[in-house]
Structure 1
């Protein structure tokens, strides 16, 4: 069993090594990058939580001329490359800036976050003020930016200034590492200040990347490849490394070889198939990889409990809003495609890798591209397909069980919220009148509007029932404990002194629906679900309801 700390949420390479955390060696990325001919500007795009920040942090530690990094690289693969290390290790001035915390609900707040990050960067390089080669105006401007007093123009040109000063101070060109460059644009698009933020970020990129004679090379990481015309205008010798065309594919994410070693180190080889089903399935370039965020979270859970089961570690992240915004935009027009994906099939869609955030929601095609580029869908390899694809199109599939669960949960929530806009009066009247014929008719009508899902379970139908009654002036309780058990859904109408209790069953076949209804009613009577309400409400109605895919059967307790 692994005794080292599992570094979940830690993306600082030096901290991981100094605190002796468990680390999967990806230092060969440095050799791969340098030996295959580093372009002047390389853009690396991968979904969130695939190790981009950690990779750039590791590179900053390796190249930075002001550090002695050999001790923290001890035992790692890159140190075996002696000639490469002699030429590159701690031999170059480095500027490393992450934009991952630059966000906000309005431009002023987000811009303040950007100012803060740049101020901290200048504080780290405060020693430059002691240089004999810095002019008085440059020193004054440096202090203005460090103290967050610079104008928008001065902030947008701050990286250029810092690189000029470092070049003069060290007598060498500068390596520029920019992490999550597109986070500010993503947030700006969400909260409608895109044009203001784009102006700042574009100016920073142009002044630091275009015709900059102090630049040795730059690596820029992000989630999406924002159109070159939009942000990288005029960048010299610019190349992209994306999930479709990658030469660095095995260094972002865990390969099967990595996972074999991780589970062996953890003494958890028996969990291999579960991990593969839940977290594998991403195809980057020619490499199949696992999501490192998920694997490390699961590894930490296994440390606490060797029998821990995989869960959706992505579910509670803000990134999942992408799926919801997609469904909100496309709605019922994509029902058929979502049903295919949720059943394990694939769909063929045109993919555009050069996007701008302000046009992400302008078409269904753009939204499929976003789901692909952000890791919620992956591509089916061409050799696995029986048909040729149209030029520019990709066969898309949900990569694993975790993402499938996230899709399903998002769809259920979307359905529940949209159900509130439907005309449900006939259903409500029938529930309070005990008219099971109308209840059956209305429930089945609503079910036909939902999205088919291969893994129908009782919690899916609980959400369906709760969604129908929510927002209609009733109190809705789920899994309330009373009598000698828990009912599935309780609908209370206190104003009129009445309550409806639903016990739901998920049938295996259509023929099981009526017997399952009877079983639900028997359970309610046997466990006394109605007793808690008989003294408070004048009318207590108990319903057994059995579901089979998009069908249901409802019976009432006499």
Structure 2
């Protein structure tokens, strides 16, 4: 009989006690403990079992679970007799930053301090124990949501000391989702303040802490910061840190489900005939050299609901990823177009994510998408130690689920003007330039600013960010009728957008975008005419003519931009006043 699939259960003991579906990952405990690493940072995409693993580790080692052999009988760790002897024998400090998602630094700091205070409440029995001095009790009482930075940075350090004195053993410290507040800090603009606060906290907790036995941190990324001299990790002071990223070979099967585990689960649930389709939708993650890893959230939801949909991609927030692509440069959007079209991207990758350099830094953006699980490594070109060339990664979208998520994300960019956007598409296909101007003007006016980063020194808006985002929308919404390409060579230059019809009954379309230049052009109409002239002068129709599309079946449009103002024109379209 198939076990019940419990969705969203992140406490190990709850899964075991309720007899819910569980794939045994307790081998991680032995692999980690045998490694003897002092502090381990493990990065994995969201919903890959990091929180459940931290719960499992806490409940295996913590004195709070002494005598709970029932939680581990029947799983792989219990087959190791020497490990049975250490179950429930260590003081464990466990906390999570998963819910620290505030809009400013003050609220973020307050919430972290509240988490630290909650730990002191949990261990309030220590305050009046004989192991603490009067000075210790004074510090204990100062731990609050409004405590000073110096007290906050020492909170875990001091608690480790108190627990060590009380139990006579060094402590294990588990910090889950350490980087969640940092992602929020980048999005909401308080990155610098938070970095200073967390670096101090991490240093005292994980480096200068003589009462630390072992530590684990989990997150999606390995966070770095930009100093005036170079890039340095937020963990630069932690020379005892073992970093395990998605390209590392440690713990490759501890997070996520292997293909064999997935296929076995499908058989258990009577879904064995779904293996091929499940693989198409949800396979694709690669950790280290181990391929065919599946996201647990997607698999558990499929086992429970038996529906193929974007289970994982629709959880939590894709806001940061969407923001980076939506506000990205022309080159970023062009590369993203190719990924959506099934092509591969070859790029260097730096697994130290520098959040405050994400704006328009292509390498950083692709590195973040890889760490977050949206891209997978297909091939990795490694160079010898004497080579100065950066290693290149060949990347593609992870699977069908991710591709559909991105398609929905792009559609969402125009959600506020969905009706006008759809009407523009119809006008484009019908060749109705008057209607194209009407609807395109509304779309640009309502959505233009959402494509602009607002962080450039000049403060000048860049229409390219809008119209290349608009091209992504065309690619997704017209993919059943056209092969759409952008920034490709044809004739004597590179066109902006070319729509090659899949049916001989449809016209081909060439679009050229131009931004109004007051030094060279009198008005927006002249800019539009220059765009049309460039299509002719550069002979952008060459590729279309080469595949047999006659000249009379090729429509050409010039789009002229001046901020949010747009003018669309075509061959033979009457001149218009600005």
Assess same fold via TM > 0.5.
yes
User: Matches of 1:100 and 1:261 in 2, distance apart?
Assistant: 31
1:250 match: 253
Shift of 1:14: 1.6
> Does the 8 A contact of 2:186 with 2:355 survive in 1?
yes
The whole-number CA distance in structure 2 between the counterparts of 1:22 and 1:265 is 10
Aligned partner of 2:106 in structure 1 is 108
**Deviation by residue 1:393-419 (Cα, 9 ceiling, x = unmatched):** 211100100100111122233366799
Alpha-carbon offset, residue 211 of structure 1: 2.8
Distance in 1 (CA, whole Å) between partners of 2:376 and 2:438 is 35
Secondary structure of 1:150's counterpart equals coil
CA positional deviation for 1:18: 2.1
Q: Is the 8 A contact 1:249 1:285 kept in 2?
A: yes
Structure 2 equivalent of residue 133 of structure 1: 131
Higher alpha-carbon deviation: 162-171 or 291-300: 291-300
Q: Secondary structure at the match of 2:312?
A: coil
1:295 matched to 2:316? The reply is no
- Report the CA distance shift for 1:282/1:135 in structure 2 as closer, same or farther (over 3 A): same
Moved more, 388-397 or 46-55: 388-397
> Is 1:327 aligned to residue 325 of structure 2?
yes
Deviation string for 1:11-63 (max 9, x for gaps)? 1112222222221110000111122x221111101111111111111001001
**Alignment partner, residue 152 of structure 1:** 149
Partner of residue 17, structure 1: 16
Distance 1:212-1:396 versus aligned 2 partners, 3 A rule = same
Match of 2:194 in 1: 197
Aligned counterpart, 1:450: 471
Alignment of 1:123-522 (within 5 A): 123-145=121-143, 147-227=144-224, 229-288=232-291, 289-302=293-306, 309-361=307-359, 363-382=361-380, 391-414=390-413, 438=433, 450-451=471-472, 509-513=502-506
2:533 matched to which residue of 1?
none
Aligned residue pairs: how many? Answer: 457
Counterpart pick for 1:65 among 63, 66, 75: 63
CA distance in 1, matches of 2:57, 2:6: 18
- Structure 1 distance, partners of 2:294, 2:474, is 24
TM-score, with length taken from structure 2: 0.71
- The alpha-carbon distance between structure 1 residues 329 and 171, as it changes in their structure 2 partners (threshold 3 A), is same
Partner deviation per Cα, 1:253-306 (whole Å, 9 max, x = no partner): 00012102211221111111121111110111122210111111112213xxxx
Deviations 1:136-164 (A, max 9, x none): 2212322332x545323212210001100
2:2 maps to 2
1:125 and 1:417, CA in 2 relative to 1: closer, same or farther beyond 3 A?
A: same
- The answer as to whether partners of 1:102 and 1:111 remain within 8 angstroms in 2 is no
Distance 1:451 1:102 in 2: 33
Q: Partners of 1:227 and 1:18 in 2: how far apart?
A: 40
Query: What SS does structure 2 have at the residue aligned with 1:407?
Result: helix
The answer for unaligned runs of 5 or more in structure 2 is 226-231, 382-386, 441-466, 483-499, 508-552, 556-578
Contact 1:181 / 1:220 at 8 angstroms: preserved in 2?
yes
What is the RMSD of the two structures over their aligned residues, measured on CA atoms? 3.8
Change (3 A) 1:235 1:333: closer
Counterpart CA distance in 2 for 1:460 and 1:65 is 64
Q: What CA distance in whole angstroms lies between the structure 2 residues aligned with 1:437 and 1:186? A: 44
Worse overlay, 288-297 or 149-158: 149-158
Instruction: Note if contact 1:103-1:113 (Cα within 8 Å) is conserved in structure 2.
Output: no
What is the DSSP-based 3-state SS (H/G/I as helix, E as strand, rest coil) of the residue aligned with 1:379? strand
Summarize deviations over 1:306-327 as a string: whole Å, max 9, x none. Answer: xxx3101234334311332122
Q: Please tell me whether the aligned partners of residues 332 and 360 of structure 2 are also in contact (alpha carbons under 8 angstroms).
A: no
Q: Which has the higher helix share?
A: 1
* Cα distance in 1 between the residues matched to 2:72 and 2:554: 60
